[in-house]
Amino acid sequence: MDFTVMSYNILAQDLLEAHPELYAHCPPEVLDWNYRRHILLEEILKWTPDILCLQEVQENHYHEQLHPALSEMGYKCVYKRRTGTKTDGCATCYRSSSFSEISVTPLEFFRPETTLLDRHNVGIVSLLRPVLMRGSDVKATGPPLCVANTHLLFNPRRGEVKLAQLAIMLAEIDRAVQSCKAEGENCNLILCGDFNSVPHMPLYQLITSGKLYFQGLPAWMVSGQDDLSHRAHCSRLFSPLWPACLGISDDCQYMSRQDTRKSHGQKAGKRRYSHEFLLQLRFCPATFVRPLDLELIPGVTDNRPDTSTETYDKRFRQTIHHRLDLESVYKHILPVSGGPEVTTLHSEVGAAVDYIFYSPRRVFTSHQKTGVHYVREGLTLIGSLSLLSEDVLWSMGGLPNNKFPSDHLSLVAKFRVDLNAARPGQLR
């Protein structure tokens, strides 16, 4: 089965109007939402992706215009608005003729119990199953596909926040993978979005290599959006990178859920949380909040817990890991000129910050004589829509323009999945 994935930051109108200086080079007519919406829907219709991951989707535009139009095109959609006062969010859509829904999990990265995660970004993790149409019959078949869609924090100086947001995303993807393995199924992966990180920098390396040594790393270097090496002082990352009350280990896995414990081979008892895990929450930042009506008695009620004791997970090392096998669709270098690919451009900068990551197909030889192979879950990349250079985009008047309705370009990739792929432990 072949299927197409599109990832697209469509530029929320509220954000455009809040930062007019970024679009001073654009004629006013190309900044009008109705004009941009028309081109956007034409572009989606042109490529007809089976899976559509959108970022910066303004809530009222989604409910009033985009969702009705996409429904007419045959898509089923889920939307997650950013928390707080933000008016935009992410939307994940899939063609009901190609996939059926197993589960959908909206994610909020803002966590009031820790000052680290004080930004209102979100994500969506969907678990889908391929569908085969045979006449009027619809048959769900083949291995599940986990589709994750997110828009990470922009701030180039808050690399520690970006990594924590990404860890939440990876932990939820891992949970979906483990739930499939518990049912005896492999799970293929697609991770899309605006990651606000340029290629080959630490955040990108964590996704594609599965590990990142971060001890002493300057926070701005995590994404590489800005070079702040000239500054005399800069914030650096040190272990532990996030508090234990987040409930995520440095392996980017949930520490407290029973299904995760089972995946590690731990015996699941009647209690949902272990005694060791609960002890880590004794000095969670939420316990430092003083009730408004508490009488202040010197030496008594003004005392705070002794945080010198073990507050964080003992296993938190100086390296972040994950066990998901992910590879970028795009190679970030234009094939002819050798120049850098660009996925976003406005008056201040052009860069690649949008990605489609996927789990590539792996084949391992089990017996040299017989030629028997063990086929691991994975997708075959058939092709992708070419990106453009910054020079070419400026020759078109920059972004947005009368061809491209956003300050980002759409990413499109075509994959092939083996509907008869081997299950875990099977030989083929």
pLDDT at 312 over 50: no
Mean pLDDT (whole number) for 80-95: 97
Tell me how far apart the alpha carbons of residues 268 and 323 are, in angstroms, rounded to a whole number: 22
Query: What's the sign of the alpha-carbon dihedral 130, 133, 137, 141?
Result: negative
Q: Which residue has the tokens 């829509």?
A: 385
pLDDT at 371 over 50: yes
Instruction: Tell me whether strands 2-9 and 51-58 are parallel, antiparallel or unpaired.
Output: parallel
Report residue 140 as tokens.
Answer: 């769900």
pLDDT in tens, 160-184: 999 999 999 999 999 999 999 999 9
CB neighbour list of residue 31: distance below 8 Å, 6 or more residues apart: 16, 23, 400
pLDDT of residue 420: 81
pLDDT at 275 over 80: no
pLDDT in tens, 256-268: 644 334 333 334 4
pLDDT at 59 over 90: yes
HEC-encoded secondary structure of 43-75: HHHHHCCCEEEEEEEEHHHHHHHHHHHHHHCCE
pLDDT of residue 134: 74
Please say whether the beta carbons of 369 and 22 come within 8 A: no
pLDDT at 374 over 70: no
pLDDT in tens, 288-301: 566 667 777 766 66
Identify how many contiguous H helices and E strands the chain contains and give both numbers. Answer: 9, 19
Mean pLDDT (whole number) for 216-231: 93
User: Out of 47-51, 60-64, 136-140, 319-323, which region has the weakest mean confidence (pLDDT)?
Assistant: 136-140
pLDDT of residue 285: 52
Global pTM value: 0.85
Please say whether the beta carbons of 233 and 192 come within 8 A: no
Tell whether omega for the bond before 240 is within 30 degrees of 0, i.e. cis. Answer: yes
How far CA 90 is from CA of 62, 73, 81, 302, 386, in Å, comes to 10, 19, 6, 44, 24
Mean pLDDT (whole number) for 211-236: 93
pLDDT of residue 35: 98
User: Which CATH code, of 3.40.50.300, 3.20.20.70, 3.40.980.10, 3.60.10.10, is assigned to 2-226+235-287+307-416?
Assistant: 3.60.10.10
| Helix, strand, coil abundance in the chain, percent, nearest 5 | 25, 30, 50
